[in-house]
Amino acid sequence: MAEIQLKNLTKRFGTQVIAVNDLNLVIPDKEFVALLGPSGCGKSTTMNMIAGIEQPTAGEILLNGQDCVRLAPEKRGVGFVFQNYAIFTHMTVYDNLAFGPQVKGWAADKVKAKVAEMASLMRLEDRLDWPSAKLSVNEMQKLAIGRSAIVEPSIFLLDEPLSNLDASFREFMRTELKRIQHQLQQTMVYVTHDQIEAMSLADRIAVMDQGLLQQYGTPAEIYNRPANTFVANFMGSPPMNLIDCALTRDGGRLLLDLGAAGKLELTDPKLLQAAESAERSELVLGVRPEAVSVVDEPDAAGGLSMRVDLLEPIGPRTIIHLTQGDVEMLAVEDKRFGGQHAAQVTAMLPQTQCHLFDRQSGRVLGDAPGIASGQEAA
């Protein structure tokens, strides 16, 4: 059992930098949680505080309900893997794996059995007598993970462990990590700036920006119901379309005025409810490119009139760049798009997949999962 609770956790460096700002997070036992955000958002500092390498300026870190802020790193039951694989390159793979258990004074036969088990889990069993300097880069990173995992820490912290690998190894290691996590059954906290990595590996994602938690939820919640424009824009490739619009009324009808692209009458009950809760008329309409479909005719009923600006065929998909006046939008079609460059077309936006954000605060209108109290978007 290893649950981590961060309560109002804050870290300042000097008077200018608030690396982590009043962070509240519960990382449940045996879950894989990704800390995700752009460079400098406070991910590593959060991780270092959990590990005990950095002291918080304020707040609490509870491991299984016990405050551990004053506990030395080695007493926390935490294993740490950095992006620069920490292994002894002058030792064999066997000796690297055996090092931790030997330091802990395990009996020789237990060390041997555990090394064999870990080598098999990391698929390094035929490399045990190799000098580790001869391993490939991805094998070295697996060895680094194995070295940490072998002493069975109840919490595993991984700080961008794949960032030094090239693209094809990264994909391979992502799958490997998922397999390893299923078998190790440990609580894992994983720092990354790569949203694909976070989406594919994590049970839950904490999205951070400028030291503030933006949203905490399952990958599906974060992707499908972003709490603010930052999360909407950070997740997804290509990212969500975010289009400035104005909320207007026409008799009993609620409309979104998208300028040159036309007006959309709101009909979906959830979207209507969200629009009714708006404090201002200046909103942002969010819709994922893969939700937009393009009808190859101008002014089709119920859609937005747009012009095809660019077509990007990517394998079986086409990314269609649409413009109209100062409105820009992307659509992703799963099939080859038959339309022509510069054609006037209609973009259809399914309202069940649209989101409305307050333009000033960036916050979504209506409900969004995973916004901890006191953790609002900057």
Cα→Cα distances 270→50, 111, 266, 356, Å: 39, 58, 10, 10
Provide, rounded to whole angstroms, the least separation between the CB of residue 41 and ligand ATP: 4
Q: Checking DSSP bridges between strand 17-27 and strand 32-36, what pairing results, if any?
A: unpaired
Q: Is 275 helix (H, G, I), strand (E, B) or coil?
A: helix
Provide, rounded to whole angstroms, the least separation between the CB of residue 9 and ligand ATP: 12
Find the angle CA(62)-CA(67)-CA(70) to the nearest 5 degrees. Answer: 125
Provide, rounded to whole angstroms, the least separation between the CB of residue 189 and ligand ATP: 12
For ligand ATP, the binding residues (CB under 6 A) are 13, 17, 19, 37, 39-45, 193
Provide, rounded to whole angstroms, the least separation between the CB of residue 159 and ligand ATP: 8
Residue 15 vs 39, nearer CB to ligand ATP: 39
Report the alpha-carbon distance of residue 265 to residue 139 in Å, rounded: 56
Residue 42 vs 289, nearer CB to ligand ATP: 42
Residue 86 vs 295, nearer CB to ligand ATP: 86
Cα→Cα distances 33→20, 191, 299, Å: 17, 9, 45
Residue 132 vs 192, nearer CB to ligand ATP: 192
Provide, rounded to whole angstroms, the least separation between the CB of residue 143 and ligand ATP: 23
Residue 15 vs 373, nearer CB to ligand ATP: 15
Q: For residues 136 and 166, is the Cβ–Cβ distance under 8 A?
A: no
Residue 45 vs 195, nearer CB to ligand ATP: 45
CB within 8 Å of 334: residues ≥ 6 apart: 290, 316, 317
Provide, rounded to whole angstroms, the least separation between the CB of residue 234 and ligand ATP: 13
Among the listed residues 70, 12, 4, 67, the one whose alpha carbon sits nearest the alpha carbon of residue 33: 4
